[in-house]
Structure 1
Amino acid sequence: MALPWKKKMIWRERLGRNRTILGEKIREALASVVPITAIVLVLSFTVAPLPTATLLAFLVGAALLIVGMGLFTLGADTAMTPIGERVGAHMTRSRKLWVVVLVGFLIGVIVTVSEPDLQVLATQVPGVPNALLVGAVALGVGVFLVIALLRILFRIPLSRILIVFYIAVFGLTLLVPEDFLAIAFDSGGVTTGPMTVPFIMALGLGVSSIRSDENASQDSFGLVALCSIGPILAVLILAMIYPAAGTYTPVALPDAADSRALWHLFEEGFPTYLEEVAVCLAPIAAFFALFQVFALKLKRKKVLKIAVGILYTDLGLVLFLTGVNVGFMPAGSYLGRQIAGLPYNWILVPIGMLMGWFIVQAEPAVHVLNKQVEEITSGAIPGKAMSTSLSVGVAVSIGLAMVRVMTGVSIYAFLVPGYLAAIVMSFFVPRIFTAIAFDSGGVASGPMTATFLLPFAMGACEALGGNVVTDAFGVVAMVAMTPLLTIQMLGLLYQSKLRRAEAQAQVQDEEIIDL
């Protein structure tokens, strides 16, 4: 039995480690938010001045986002990832298919409901109740997470599944109102955010760890890709059952006469989002508690650590949603309207590309994916090459999204050739690159895309007199699509270099034999 002073020392060490990790997470969040904040400040002091109250609310919102994302990602690492790995390994060890199906479906639904990016998108979709949209998306993720897990267990090639379901996706788009198309594809992008990605990838690693073949680790990729398809199909089906689209209502600007009134705006939001987040996270906590009692039976210390992680997640999500809804979205929408109203509104395109480049460079989930890819491929795909490829893809996608906002070109003109090219390329690149590419599409469309770039596009579209629902929505979908092409192009380049190196080695061997 440990002495009291030893227990105090242990708790102090743990507290110190948590503070250090939290500091790292806040620095990651800082790197994610600061570039957008700097761009907004430069624009607000030059070509697109913001009202003082709106600018101050944006800055307070940025601070809440930084702290909230830091706490949230710490909670995801402390609670969601360990739960995902242990649940994935345990349910596959049971060797019961019905367990994999049932647990996989429940996990997909439960985790998606608490996804912050989805909550942000749902509040911006006109004419559809938040709960209805979130519920449809959650069911879609649940079904496709089961499909993704079964793919790993039965060793089914990812490219075949992608072809079948994307044919189904584009077939359904011919039967639904145009208003829902961009929203459906955006739903697929926002679902794979900071809550679901760590959990789903950990679950994939847990399931693949049961297999002993050499392709097991590679097959752990692709879960994010398949879980991005489920929401698209779910929202398209919802559009056929619930064919209603409301009128877009511009985001209200913060109205505060002084600093106390400004803080009151945020203070009013805290109870609302505290209640919403508690409702979202309660199913995850209940699921873990039941799984712990009947299956996992972890030690008390590990259970306590996971419980603390869930609390971190709760607090971080409350701060995140409050900062987004009160500070970030109004500033993004107003800034888009201001720039679109300029005589030289073509600068929407380069500004959007600049934002896209910095957003993906600073996205924490992207860094996690880059590191995992570099480790699994033993350095064959360097993290720097991955990062640059993603940045180029996202910058181009935001530029094209701004072109859509200015011209009203249908999203079909970009998505159909883009996905067709990505699927064709999948037959010519190594399997690992295809899985990574489609996973990257979901990971690249992170928190900043839904919280700032989508309101920015909506504000610009409104000022230009376009249809916000058909022309502004689709930003997230464009961000999720272009990495499919750029990463697979990286795969073609890698394959070409590998073949040249093999040919050169063969020539050298022949020369040695001749000697």
Structure 2
Amino acid sequence: MNKNFLMKLKESLTSVLPITLIVLLLNFTIVPMPFGTVMMFIIGSLLLIIGMGLFTLGTDVSMMFIGERIGSYLAKSGKIKLIVILGFFMGLIITIAEPDLQVLAKQTPGVPDLVIILSVALGVGLFLVIALLRTLFQIKLSVIFIVMYGLVFLLAAFVPSDFIPVAFDSGGVTTGPMTVPFIMALGIGMASLRSDKTSQEDSFGLVALCSVGPILAVLLLGIFFKPGATEYGENVITEINSFSAVLKAFLSDMPIYIKEVALALLPIIAFFIIFQIFKMKLPRKQVLKIVIGLIYTYLGLVLFLSGANIGFMPAGSYLGSELLSGPYRWLIIPLGMVIGFFIVAAEPAVHVLKEQVEDISEGNISGRSMQLSLSIGVAVSVGLSMLRVSTGISIWYLIIPGYLIALTLTFFVPNIFTAIAFDSGGVASGPMTATFLLPLAMGACEAVGGNILSDAFGTVAMVAMTPLITIQGLGLLYKFRTRRNLKLENDTYKPEQLLSDEIIYFDMEERS
């Protein structure tokens, strides 16, 4: 276990170090930050590294295993009523406990917190059922996406403009680091019993569909609850002048995340206990391994969220405000793109997704190519978000063309890339987006006197959208490469001798 932890720690160090160095470089050059903000950021970076290492180690042996076993049981039972009831309640309860949803509810004016939490949770529960049934009945994912996003844009036409960015952001924040591994594992378990040609692609797509439910739910709320005239006050960063005060700030706020993560993990533990008693009946040694994994997951996410919220959020807000109000305001777009490129690697759920993609595709889709595609997508999204903040461009001019491109690509790329791409959107828009990129946009928006609801909100939505295009673009690249190699080989095609594993995989998919 120690060897595995050191390996995970090395991976998390590689992921967090680039964004840490970029922020420190900005601090020592064009945007000097207060002493307390810098120290909190450095400590936050250390907590992120340790927390991500523990989290990814824990999910490998606990949450992924639990989700796959429950998914396999549901598929094996073949009972539609059981799948509907369990799927709905799993989606409902896990979403209510998601920490990021509490933040979204508090930031949405004109709607009571409990109303928006329950509405979003109902949306996730309903769409988790749809996702599970899609896997069971092998319905083509692209067809569902076209219908559902068509409904999304139809409803959006009747919603106040200030509410639209919040609705699209809700799709990203509700698929957080706690829910993503479990929901992904459910899909893998559901598809694992099949050996047909679509079993691999049907392992993905659950996260993507669960991201659509909250968007529809919040859009419906926007129709019935008109956003009030609530104004956001400026983000005030408390000046801290000593290292002891920095430590005190962390120690005073960490209990919040200790409680939040415990509540988020509780439903998954409850489902595991019920299934262990009545269905799985795992040996004691396996149960002990899962318990240890859950402890690692819990500790890791507490440290990660503490580092992100306490350490990274003030730095993001300060940088955004100072960059756009200072003499280097033109740098906000290119710097935002550089930050976006590297920060997505620090999302804990991204590591889980990459491992699952490599595992399910048997190495045909490499984690390295996935990471590069995600980084490019997030870089573009942050650049566009900073452009929105600087100019006040409506999110409509970016969201509609973006989704039209993404949905059009579904007709031209291998189905597995469509499923992975739409899952990636929910995975990429995790806690690092909410605690650094969104405050960056909000700080910049305050500096120019913009409307935070319409101009800063929507950053999460942009981060969730662009990977749909870049990952499918990767699929298009693989498809063209496959055809080119097949053309070169002509009639002498012998898969086991002449082509790489990647080419074999995509050729088999095309032939089927």
Q: Structure 2-normalised TM-score?
A: 0.89
Residue number in structure 1 paired with 2:60: 77
The 1:66–1:111 alpha-carbon spacing in structure 2 relative to 1, beyond 3 Å, is: farther
Provide, for residues 70-125 of structure 1, a one-character-per-residue CA deviation record: whole Å limited to 9, x for no partner: 33333322321111011111122222111111111222223334445445555555
Residue number in structure 1 paired with 2:201: 218
Q: Is the 8 A contact 2:438 2:457 kept in 1?
A: yes
Corresponding residue SS for 2:62:
helix
The 1:243–1:109 alpha-carbon spacing in structure 2 relative to 1, beyond 3 Å, is: same
The 1:431–1:73 alpha-carbon spacing in structure 2 relative to 1, beyond 3 Å, is: same
Does residue 342 of structure 1 match 2:326? yes
Match of 1:276 among 260, 265, 288: 260
Tell me how far apart the structure 1 counterparts of residues 112 and 49 of structure 2 sit (CA, whole Å).
Answer: 29
The structural deviation recorded for 1:174 is 1.3
Residue number in structure 2 paired with 1:240: 223
Matches within 5 A, 1:386-425: 386-425=370-409
Provide, for residues 212-238 of structure 1, a one-character-per-residue CA deviation record: whole Å limited to 9, x for no partner: 312212211211211111111122123
Q: Is the 8 A contact 2:308 2:432 kept in 1?
A: no
Tell me how far apart the structure 2 counterparts of residues 288 and 368 of structure 1 sit (CA, whole Å).
Answer: 20
Q: 1:438 corresponds to which letter in structure 2?
A: F
Provide, for residues 261-318 of structure 1, a one-character-per-residue CA deviation record: whole Å limited to 9, x for no partner: 2222222213333333333332322222222222222222222332333333333333
Provide, for residues 336-355 of structure 1, a one-character-per-residue CA deviation record: whole Å limited to 9, x for no partner: 10001113311000001101
Q: Is the 8 A contact 1:127 1:247 kept in 2?
A: no
Mean Cα displacement is larger for which, 169-178 or 262-271?
Answer: 262-271
The structural deviation recorded for 1:22 is 2.9
Tell me how far apart the structure 2 counterparts of residues 65 and 506 of structure 1 sit (CA, whole Å).
Answer: 51
Does residue 490 of structure 1 match 2:470? no
Q: 1:51 corresponds to which letter in structure 2?
A: P
The structural deviation recorded for 1:404 is 0.5
Q: 1:194 corresponds to which letter in structure 2?
A: P
The 1:381–1:277 alpha-carbon spacing in structure 2 relative to 1, beyond 3 Å, is: closer
Residue number in structure 2 paired with 1:41: 24
The structural deviation recorded for 1:177 is 1.8
Matches within 5 A, 1:274-353: 274-353=258-337
Residue number in structure 1 paired with 2:85: 102
Q: 2:273 corresponds to which letter in structure 1?
A: A
Q: 1:252 corresponds to which letter in structure 2?
A: V
Does residue 479 of structure 1 match 2:463? yes
Residue number in structure 2 paired with 1:4: none
Q: 1:144 corresponds to which letter in structure 2?
A: F
Match of 1:31 among 11, 14, 27: 14
Residue number in structure 2 paired with 1:426: 410
The structural deviation recorded for 1:392 is 1.7
Tell me how far apart the structure 2 counterparts of residues 153 and 142 of structure 1 sit (CA, whole Å).
Answer: 17
Match of 2:234 among 241, 247, 250: 250
The structural deviation recorded for 1:170 is 0.7
Tell me how far apart the structure 2 counterparts of residues 118 and 22 of structure 1 sit (CA, whole Å).
Answer: 30
Corresponding residue SS for 1:274:
helix
Mean Cα displacement is larger for which, 481-490 or 456-465?
Answer: 481-490
Tell me how far apart the structure 2 counterparts of residues 264 and 343 of structure 1 sit (CA, whole Å).
Answer: 34
Does residue 173 of structure 1 match 2:162? no
Corresponding residue SS for 1:178:
coil
Residue number in structure 1 paired with 2:341: 357
Mean Cα displacement is larger for which, 100-109 or 449-458?
Answer: 100-109
Tell me how far apart the structure 2 counterparts of residues 281 and 310 of structure 1 sit (CA, whole Å).
Answer: 8
The structural deviation recorded for 1:29 is 2.9
Q: 1:427 corresponds to which letter in structure 2?
A: F
The 1:311–1:166 alpha-carbon spacing in structure 2 relative to 1, beyond 3 Å, is: same
**Larger radius of gyration, structure 1 or 2?**
1
Residue number in structure 1 paired with 2:497: none
Q: Is the 8 A contact 1:33 1:65 kept in 2?
A: yes
Q: 1:472 corresponds to which letter in structure 2?
A: A
Corresponding residue SS for 2:162:
helix
Matches within 5 A, 1:80-159: 80-119=63-102, 121-122=104-105, 124-125=107-108, 130-159=113-142
The structural deviation recorded for 1:378 is 4.9
Tell me how far apart the structure 2 counterparts of residues 36 and 121 of structure 1 sit (CA, whole Å).
Answer: 25
Tell me how far apart the structure 1 counterparts of residues 396 and 152 of structure 2 sit (CA, whole Å).
Answer: 12
Match of 2:3 among 20, 23, 40: 20
Residue number in structure 2 paired with 1:501: 485
The structural deviation recorded for 1:209 is 1.5
Tell me how far apart the structure 1 counterparts of residues 358 and 254 of structure 2 sit (CA, whole Å).
Answer: 40
Q: Is the 8 A contact 1:429 1:488 kept in 2?
A: yes
Residue number in structure 2 paired with 1:3: none
Does residue 188 of structure 1 match 2:158? no
The structural deviation recorded for 1:450 is 1.5
The structural deviation recorded for 1:131 is 4.8
Tell me how far apart the structure 2 counterparts of residues 33 and 254 of structure 1 sit (CA, whole Å).
Answer: 25
Q: 1:186 corresponds to which letter in structure 2?
A: D
Q: Is the 8 A contact 2:167 2:219 kept in 1?
A: yes
Residue number in structure 2 paired with 1:5: none
Match of 2:247 among 263, 266, 280: 263
Q: Is the 8 A contact 1:116 1:195 kept in 2?
A: no
Q: Which runs of 5+ in 2 are unaligned?
A: 494-512
The structural deviation recorded for 1:162 is 0.4
The 1:212–1:354 alpha-carbon spacing in structure 2 relative to 1, beyond 3 Å, is: same
Q: Is the 8 A contact 1:442 1:480 kept in 2?
A: yes
Q: Is the 8 A contact 1:120 1:321 kept in 2?
A: no
Corresponding residue SS for 1:311:
helix
The 1:125–1:455 alpha-carbon spacing in structure 2 relative to 1, beyond 3 Å, is: farther
The structural deviation recorded for 1:190 is 2.6
The 1:263–1:91 alpha-carbon spacing in structure 2 relative to 1, beyond 3 Å, is: same
Tell me how far apart the structure 1 counterparts of residues 441 and 344 of structure 2 sit (CA, whole Å).
Answer: 17
Corresponding residue SS for 1:216:
coil
Does residue 458 of structure 1 match 2:427? no
Mean Cα displacement is larger for which, 109-118 or 196-205?
Answer: 109-118
Does residue 50 of structure 1 match 2:33? yes
Match of 1:446 among 420, 427, 430: 430
Tell me how far apart the structure 1 counterparts of residues 290 and 424 of structure 2 sit (CA, whole Å).
Answer: 28
Q: Which runs of 5+ in 1 are unaligned?
A: 1-16, 510-515
The 1:437–1:107 alpha-carbon spacing in structure 2 relative to 1, beyond 3 Å, is: same
Q: Is the 8 A contact 1:22 1:70 kept in 2?
A: yes
